[in-house]
């Protein structure tokens, strides 16, 4: 009966056939790989742990010449002990221009006439996160200096080497670069990374340099360490003026941390290779994608919500967190007025 339905409806058959051909063509195109991997140099930032550390190992095993930057001496020593002679581990603080300059010079000396095939801007921080009213300007600066300004400065200074190799820039954003789930500088920085990456991709296409954005959901890394996040939330709460605390209520902080801990335990995936495989594809595919979404929560929850009208997205996101005392009082007063 299905065959008869197709025969009696040639338009439907044509649409399905076109869809199948386009899907197959996309899959084949997406699977094509670049050549001469063993001659290519890739710099990865934030390799002390998490995504950067795992990616450095993966690329080293593939045969890339990896320049892995770490914030600590221990991170460098551990990587050198666990990888081949091809991997070079160097110290880099992306908030320090002189440190960036030293790294750029090191890359220039290492790559020579080959240029730099890949730059993976992975270094980042999330703390502090919480209600925006709890933040000081320094809290925003501390995150933006790492997640945004350091990323931009390193990228701009390496562009000549990337253009020479007609290489790749891979910027690690977040699903929270599409949907704001909390206050503080993290979401602000990731939205800015999305914007910078889009503009850079369009500018660099004329020079053969491709730019990709990685948008992970929630994964178990230092960025999502609940103990660190809770400790910093207490710091923010303790420095609030008593009048501000009163508007939230005594139990707000405790309820906020409970909601956050529950969400992290439910959503955070331990398999961080889902993210690093996206990074690897962006570096090895002949036709890398502009965006990669990693994690079931990003695909099934956060990205769909981001496409909703604002009032619907606001309703869903606000339902995840406790309500301040003043808002509860206002609601009760409204009920009293409308229902005497």
292 a catalytic residue = no
The 10 Å CB-count burial string (b at 16+, else e) for 94-109 is bbeeebbeebbebbee
Residue 225, judged by CB atoms within 10 A of its CB (0-12, 13-18, 19+), counts as: middle
Dihedral of alpha carbons 186, 191, 194, 197, sign: negative
Q: Could you give the CA distance from residue 111 to residue 76 in angstroms, rounded to a whole number?
A: 20
∠ CA 218-219-220, rounded to 5°: 130
State the Cα–Cα distance between residues 72 and 92, nearest whole angstrom: 8
Q: What angle do CA 174, 47, 300 make, to 5 degrees?
A: 25
Distance CA 193, CA 27 (A): 28
Cα–Cα distance, 167 to 161 (Å, whole number): 9
Closest CA to 128 of 140, 144, 116, 117: 140
Choose the catalytic residue: 186, 248, 252, 256: 186
Residues taking part in catalysis: 186
């Amino acid at each position: 009966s299905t065959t008869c339905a197709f025969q009696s409806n040639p338009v439907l058959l044509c649409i399905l056939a076109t869809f199948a051909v386009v899907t197959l063509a996309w899959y084949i195109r997406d699977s094509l790989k670049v050549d001469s991997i063993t001659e290519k140099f890739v710099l990865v930032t934030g390799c002390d742990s998490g995504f950067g550390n795992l990616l450095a190992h993966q690329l080293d095993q593939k045969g890339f010449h990896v320049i892995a930057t770490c914030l600590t001496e221990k991170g460098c020593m551990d990587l050198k002990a666990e990888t081949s002679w091809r991997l070079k581990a160097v110290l880099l603080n992306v908030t320090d221009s002189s440190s960036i300059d030293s790294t750029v010079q090191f890359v220039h000396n290492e790559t020579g006439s080959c240029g730099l095939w890949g730059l993976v801007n992975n270094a980042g921080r999330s703390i502090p996160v919480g209600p925006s009213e709890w933040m000081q300007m320094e809290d925003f600066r501390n995150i933006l200096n790492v997640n945004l300004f350091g990323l931009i400065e390193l990228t701009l200074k390496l562009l000549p080497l990337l253009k020479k190799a007609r290489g790749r820039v891979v910027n690690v954003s977040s699903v929270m670069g599409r949907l704001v789930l909390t206050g503080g500088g993290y979401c602000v920085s990731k939205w800015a990374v999305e914007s910078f990456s889009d503009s850079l991709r369009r500018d660099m296409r004329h020079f053969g340099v491709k730019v990709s954005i990685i948008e992970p959901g929630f994964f178990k890394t230092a960025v999502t360490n609940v103990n660190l996040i809770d400790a910093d939330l207490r710091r923010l709460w303790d420095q609030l003026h008593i009048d501000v605390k009163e508007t939230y209520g005594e139990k707000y902080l405790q309820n906020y941390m409970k909601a956050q801990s529950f969400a992290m335990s439910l959503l955070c995936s331990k398999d961080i290779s889902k993210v690093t495989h996206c990074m690897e594809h962006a570096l090895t595919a002949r036709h890398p994608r502009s965006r990669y979404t990693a994690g079931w929560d990003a695909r099934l929850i956060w990205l769909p919500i981001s496409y909703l009208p604002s009032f619907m997205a606001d309703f869903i996101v606000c339902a995840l967190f406790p309500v301040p005392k003043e808002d509860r009082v206002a609601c009760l007063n409204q009920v009293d007025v409308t229902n005497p």
